[in-house]
Amino acid sequence: MTLKAVLFDVDGTLADTERDGHRVAFNLAFAEAGLDWNWDVALYGKLLAVTGGKERIKFFLQDFHRDFPKPADLDGFAANLHKTKTKFYTQLMADGAVPLRPGVERLIEELRAADIRLGIATTTTPANVTALLTHTLGEHSLDWFEVIAAGDIIPAKKPGADIYHWALGRMNLTFRDAVALEDSQNGVKSAVAAGLTTLVTYNDYTLEDDFTGAKAVLSDLGEPHKAIEQRRICPFNEPYVTLETLRNLLLV
């Protein structure tokens, strides 16, 4: 098996967007809509059990705020709020609110230099991916990714495998050709169910997640000047993740 492509998750993997990006944007949207809801850091951690922002709003109402009078058109209500949330989120990205995680830019550069094909498989809204990439890697970075599989193109979001199937199909690849980079239990479930070799870089929100099926579970990708901090499952010795690491991981 030869590594042909790397598929990146976005939120939590490319950048720690959840706490200081999405959560903040949700709260701004609630305030703009005159709602007194506040998703604090701990509550948001619980809400992350459900992927997709609209789905998360409905999950909140159903499981955490039952007293709120149910809107007649719940889907429309959630979609409207979510639209405002996306507006705030993209503004936050434009303001540089969230940097890329360690090693992400370096690894992407190395992969590009070696003509490894790049794809994105995320549950977040396409506009959010555009905002994050253009404001961290630059405007041209969107072109580096052959496929950006995002948001509602797939109704059954992660942990379903559909988004990865969709991305692989578009790239005319099979699961044997690629490695997926993920950060969460839902993401790993999705990638592993698609048959993909999966490397996890966890974060504060996903520290305790179940990463069954992942081939490597690390705190971060590491950098030449700052080695990977913690290795939970690590079938390699390099101080930081490189193209060679990913090539070997596919063979483990």
Choosing from 9, 16, 183, 220, the catalytic residue is: 9
**Nearer to Mg ion (CB atom), residue 90 or residue 123:** 123
In whole angstroms, the minimum distance from the beta carbon of 42 to ligand XBP comes to: 16
Q: Three-state DSSP class for 123?
A: coil
Residue nearest to ligand XBP (CB): 53
Candidate list 3, 6, 11, 203; residue touching Mg ion; CB under 5 A? 11
Q: Three-state DSSP class for 106?
A: helix
Binding flags for Mg ion, 151-190, as an x/- string (CB under 5 A): --------------------------------xx--x---
Is residue 162 part of the annotated active site? The answer reads no
Pairwise CA distance, residues 119 & 213, whole Å: 21
DSSP strand E in 109-157: where? 117-121, 145-149
**Nearer to Mg ion (CB atom), residue 71 or residue 99:** 99
**Nearer to Mg ion (CB atom), residue 124 or residue 242:** 124
Please, are residues 27 and 38 in contact by the beta-carbon 8 Å criterion? yes
Pairwise CA distance, residues 2 & 91, whole Å: 40
Residues 187-216 that bind Mg ion (CB under 5 A): 187
Residues that bind ligand XBP in the complex, under the rule CB under 6 A: 9-12, 18, 22, 51-53, 122-125, 128, 158, 184, 187
CA nearest to 84, candidates 119, 53, 44: 53
In whole angstroms, the minimum distance from the beta carbon of 101 to ligand XBP comes to: 12
Pairwise CA distance, residues 97 & 20, whole Å: 7
Candidate list 9, 162, 177, 220; residue touching Mg ion; CB under 5 A? 9
Residue with tokens 């959630």: 78
Partners of residue 118 on adjacent β-strands: 6, 145
The residues assigned a catalytic role are 9, 11
